[in-house]
Structure 1
Amino acid sequence: MRQYLKNEVFKVSKWVELFISAIIMIAIIGGTIYLVKDVVQLMMNYPTSRDIYKFVGVAFNLVICIEFVKMLCKHTPDTLVEVMMFAIARQMIVEHTSPQQNIIVVLAIAILFAIKKFFFGKFDDIDKTVFLPTQRISSINELVHVEIPKETQHQTLGELLEKRIGTESGNFQVGQCYFFEGGALRVAKVKNGKITQIEVIRSKNAPVVLKR
């Protein structure tokens, strides 16, 4: 009972988190509209240094809010680092900081870049999209910009996984994966041993495959 309540509270917290993200996104859209109005006013009038710094400060706040929404939605170390980098950069660019403070800010950003490069694994920085097993691999390759190996033009994700990781009993389990260069396919949902949802995972470190 205790574990069940924990799981239900966790699910509710996820939905509340998404709801808060949606509210913040609405505020960002409204702020962007006002930012466009500020651009028009700056172009029509002779802007002072204070006006420009104020405009840049508002723009940085919107960017930080966007990164914050991404962090709430994705929960990846990469999004957390990006929020911190933008927040630190805003402090140096918008605020009138001293040379000593500027050095500290530059060092902090350099440390964040080093953490992102050397401490995050290859698949820590990933894009994940859920598809139905009946969807064609050729279409998904174009949508997600990956190169999932396929035998025919009409082969589906489900057919590929049945051939690559299928078992003798024919029952699949959540979490089973098939890896290919630059990404992976993961069984996301199963019903009565049959795959109902497949997660396509693409590493952002892998080159984007563009179709001609």
Structure 2
Amino acid sequence: MGMSRIKQKLIDATLYLENILAIIITIAIAIGMIDLIKYIVMIFQTSTIETYDVFQRFLGHTLLLVVGVEMVAMLVRHTPGSVIEVLLYAVARKMLISNAHMLEFLLGIASIASIFAIKKYLYVSNIKDYEAINIFPATASIADINNSIGVKIPENLADTVGGLISYLSKQSCREIHEGSYYRIADAELKVLSYSNGIIYRVWAMKYNES
């Protein structure tokens, strides 16, 4: 059990670090938005010939901020869809602001088409099904689960649902295994994937007394 606690603490630590990175990126984005106003002023002040270059830099800066926003979403949500959004905006920014040759432009179009194909045929339906049956990674925060399924799990017991199950296991003196079932507040929790002392996936549902 000592090693499993260490592994769970490492998972919680990585979640903390991701949240810290998300906060830092958000602050940087807020600061970077000030430059957008400067670019708008420059567009009005520059001549017609120079406006194109200024507007191109404006678009590049805007899309870079959008990529930053999507990165924050990726760090917070931990979903494949968030990763796809980051890749999509990054490729779009590269295509719009760079003076690429025709081959590079075609490769960019192919990349975007591939991303849309992946999103449509490989991930999107699976992600919807995944969320529909209330399955979450063990690193999902308690706040996210409360918001997703409309429950009121206390957020002061643990940061993640995996940590919460570890806490409930200790309180009830029960070993964790696949299929372990727990109730807390108005929620039901069930361990779906567990190996080598690490919880990977958890099913969560609002408890229905009827």
Further displaced range: 44-53 or 74-83: 44-53
Q: Which segment drifts farther, 29-38 or 97-106?
A: 29-38
Shift of 1:65: 0.5
CA gap of 1:79–1:172, structure 2 versus 1, over 3 A, is closer
- Equivalent runs, 1:8-23 vs 2, <5 Å: 8-23=9-24
What is the CA–CA distance in structure 1 between the aligned matches of 2:99 and 2:152, rounded to whole Å?
A: 55
Judged with a 3 Å threshold, the aligned counterparts in structure 2 of structure 1 residues 100 and 40 are, in CA distance, closer, same or farther, namely same
- Match of residue 79 from structure 2: 76
State the SS of the aligned residue for 2:123.
Answer: coil
- Among candidates 118, 122, 126, match of residue 119 of structure 1: 122
The question of 1:174 aligning with 2:166 is answered: no
Amino acid at match of 2:56: Y
TM-score, L = length of structure 1: 0.61
CA–CA distance in structure 1, aligned partners of residues 124 and 38 of structure 2? 42
Q: Indicate the residue corresponding to 1:58 in structure 2.
A: 61
Percent of aligned pairs sharing the same letter: 26
Give the corresponding residue for 2:138.
none
The unaligned stretches of length 5 or more in structure 2 are 132-143, 154-185, 192-202
The 1:68/1:8 distance shift into structure 2, 3 A limit, reads: same
Residue number in structure 2 paired with 1:89: 92
- Report the aligned-residue RMSD: 2.7
Matched residue of 1:174: which SS? strand
**Structure 1 position 27, deviation (Å):** 0.7
Matched residue SS, 2:205? strand
Which letter maps to 2:47? Y
How many aligned residue pairs are there?
Answer: 145
Question: Which residue number corresponds to residue 136 of structure 2?
Answer: none
Higher RCO (CA-CA < 8 Å; seq separation 6+): 2
Aligned position for 1:142: none
| CA distance in 2 between partners of 1:78 and 1:121 (Å) | 7
Corresponding residue for residue 42 of structure 1? 43
Residues in 1 aligned to 2:102 and 2:9: alpha-carbon distance in whole angstroms: 51
1:141 alignment partner in structure 2: none
Query: Deviations for 1:156-202, whole angstroms, at most 9, x for unmatched residues?
Result: xxxxxxxxxxxxxxx974049xxxxxxxx9437xxxxxx6xxxxxxx
2:205 equivalent among 179, 187, 193: 187
Question: Deviation string for 1:140-165 (max 9, x for gaps)?
Answer: xxxxxxxxxxxxxxxxxxxxxxxxxx
- Is the alpha carbon distance of 1:59 and 1:172 closer, same or farther for their aligned partners in structure 2, counting shifts above 3 Å? closer
Letter in 2 for 1:187: M
Displacement of 1:45 after TM fit? Answer: 3.2
Q: Is the 8 A contact 2:73 2:82 kept in 1?
A: yes
4+ residue stretches of structure 1 with deviation over 6 A? none
TM-score normalised by the chain length of structure 2: 0.61
Shift of 1:71: 0.5
